[in-house]
Amino acid sequence: MGYMTIAGLLLITAGWAIQYYAMKGKEKAIQKNFVLVNCLGILILVLDGFNGGAMTDAAIGNVLTLVASAAVLLKLK
C-alpha cells in the first residue's frame, strides 16, 4: 500500500470523524465538511489507482464513488 493510498484513507477516516462528532449534538444532518474531506480522500484514491496506468476495477469504483459524493456535496451547497 502506497503513501497516496494511506493519505486518501486517512482523509476518508477524518471525514467520518467530523461527521460523528457533529452528530453528538441534536443535529443529525450531513455535514458539508464531511463530504468535502471524503471527496478529497476519494480523489486521492482515484489518482493513486490511475497512477499506475491501468484502469482497475477498484479505480473505476473509486471514480463512481467520487461522482456520487461530489453530487451530494453540490446538493448541500
Can you give the pLDDT of all 77 residues of the chain as single tens digits?
789 989 999 999 999 999 999 888 777 889 999 999 999 999 999 988 888 766 678 888 899 999 999 999 999 87
Domain boundaries defined on the chain? 3-76
DSSP string covering 9-70: HHHHHHHHHHHHHHTTSS--SPPHHHHHHHHHHHHHHHHHHHHTS---HHHHHHHHHHHHHH
- Confidence (pTM): 0.86
